Structure 1
Amino acid sequence: MNRRLPKWRPEPSDRFYRGIVRTGLALRWLFRVRVLVTGRENLPPPGPDTIPGPDTAARPGTFSRPSTGSRRPSRPVLPGHGAVVAITHFGYLDFAFAEMLLWWHNRAQMRFLITQGAADHWLAGPAVSAAGHVVVGYESGAHAYDAAVARLRAGEYIAILPEAGVSRSFTVRDCKTGAVRMASEAGVPIIPVSVWGAHRLMTRHHAFSPRRAWRAPVRIHVGEPILPESLPDPEHDARPATARLAAALQHGIDVGMADFPLQPGPGAWWMPAGLGGGAPTEEERRRLDAADGPRRAGGGRRTQN
């Protein structure tokens, strides 16, 4: 009888998290990716004993690579300083640029909600554990929800992709209510972070291309925080506040597109159909999403019988 070896899951490690972020920053530097940021004033203020990153003094609208300060301590986690960071999801690298922004802002280590499938992977699983992310189970997300709320109350930043999947239309689709419910229950703000242009680097049906990534621009807009006092009680309907969050995320995308350095050609695949691009329309996107089947709690797809 074959016996499965126990899974090795290391404890969360500050050094490991720093290594992940530095790897991402090195790749950004290697490909000379230009990250342009607006709305920095809407980021959470640095907590006590936190030194703001050197990039805060950079030329407005830019995201610089500091030459000093790499040994500054990570952001201290203190009760009363948590936040839900809601990020758009048009491609597979949106989260990475949002994380880099928060890292250089105040050395924040964001905790993402990760599917059980990724946590069970022989290679990704130890990395998920070492980075301290929150794992969403296959059939129920209740445990992950409670864990995320507890971390928010403790002062962590919990990052959520509220669209719960890549939007192929490259417009913000209907969002799940989890971000609003978590923020309301924990009494923390929601920080809307809209990322435009990262989907050109890698998204569904468009693999990573070094040529396309070289000197590629990426726009990030940080929207005004949605404060906890404006959120409904956890027992009340979270859908109106969730619609407000979706509108804030789409506004950030509109801001990013308005001054995006690249001029798309007619029918460019990475532009929304409503602006003359080649992306699916909203109706086509809904049909394609329905054909994929409903999502499980853990993020995978159920097959249709």
Structure 2
Amino acid sequence: MRDFVYPPVVGIARTAFKVLDVNFQLSGTENVPRTGGAVIALNHISYVDFVLGGYGAVPSKRLVRFMAKEVLFRNRWSGPLMRGMHHIPVDRGAGAASYEQALRLLRAGEVVGVFPEATISRSFELKEFKSGTVRMAAEAGVPVIPLILWGTQRMFTKDHPKDFSRHRTIAITVGTPMAVSTDDDPVAATAVLRSKMAEMLDDTIRAYPEQPPGAWWLPAAYGGSAPTPEEADRMDREELARRAERRQEPRQ
């Protein structure tokens, strides 16, 4: 696949990271294969996860094709970039097309990035996982590579203003590849993946250089003031209800 847009974008991003003096705390990046297809499964804690998550594959010289909301591809500014980088638009009302596109890329030897939680976690802990990540990898005959991000929520996430302050630490932990097959129970395999990523997330948080008590970006279970998973679920349901109400309102 020819990439005329992606490499320059990576270069611009790396320059931006240098300007912001981002301290990358990388671990396990050698687990991203240098050749062949793979699904990278990432936790989702911010709006910039697809930018920073792709950085975990840079040492292996791989470009990650992320599955992202279709609305980003219709945006005047982000649309050309998303299409130029061969990311995969996901329309939740018609997901079969994006699933098939991802399979084609995986079988062609590409790396596809997926967020099994499907939406940002307000608690910054793992939400429930969708089984599509495991199903996709099994059908394409490629491994699932778990990847944990930490610190991206401090830049830009739900319910908080953007803050691209300098000298931030971004932790990226890449786990060992997980083999899956079409003989596996996808629900059980998804539970194994989530358990593995929960352990990785715990290790990553504990190794992070900052642990300020009461910090809004730190999970409640670690002494922060972020919503608990139960509170976050309630907030998510309320947000969905508000969206549904707006859609039903008559247009002026």
Paired position in structure 2 for 1:90: 45
Alignment match of 2:83 (pick from 103, 120, 129): 129
**TM-score, normalization: structure 1?**
0.76
Normalized per residue, the structure richer in helix is 2
Paired position in structure 1 for 2:168: 216
SS of alignment partner, residue 72 of structure 2? helix
Asked if 1 retains the 8 angstrom alpha-carbon contact of 2:211 and 2:218, the reply is: no
**Compared with structure 1, are the counterparts of its residues 125 and 175 closer, same or farther at alpha carbon in structure 2 (3 Å cutoff)?**
same
Unaligned runs of 5+ residues in structure 2 are none
* Cα offset, 1:138, TM superposition: 5.1
**1:1-305 correspondence runs (5 A):** 14-44=3-33, 46-47=34-35, 81-103=36-58, 105-137=59-91, 139-210=93-164, 213-228=165-180, 231-233=181-183, 237-264=185-212, 266-293=213-240, 302-303=244-245
* Cα offset, 1:123, TM superposition: 2.2
Amino acid at match of 2:3: D
Calculate percent identity across the aligned residue pairs: 35
* Cα offset, 1:156, TM superposition: 0.5
Asked if 2 retains the 8 angstrom alpha-carbon contact of 1:173 and 1:246, the reply is: no
Asked if 2 retains the 8 angstrom alpha-carbon contact of 1:13 and 1:132, the reply is: no
* Cα offset, 1:187, TM superposition: 0.5
Equivalent pairs counted in the alignment come to 246
* Cα offset, 1:177, TM superposition: 1.0
* Cα offset, 1:41, TM superposition: 3.8
* Cα offset, 1:88, TM superposition: 0.9
* Cα offset, 1:166, TM superposition: 0.6
Unaligned runs of 5+ residues in structure 1 are 1-11, 48-80, 295-300
Deviations 1:212-270 (A, max 9, x none): x3111111111121113xx443xx74211111111222212111111211131x21101
RMSD of aligned residue pairs (Cα, Å): 1.9
SS of alignment partner, residue 202 of structure 1? coil
Asked if 2 retains the 8 angstrom alpha-carbon contact of 1:13 and 1:131, the reply is: no
Q: Hey, what's the Cα distance between the residues in 2 that align with 1:21 and 1:162?
A: 24
SS of alignment partner, residue 218 of structure 1? strand
* Cα offset, 1:197, TM superposition: 1.2
Q: Hey, what's the Cα distance between the residues in 1 that align with 2:86 and 2:226?
A: 35
SS of alignment partner, residue 221 of structure 2? helix
Q: Hey, what's the Cα distance between the residues in 2 that align with 1:14 and 1:28?
A: 22
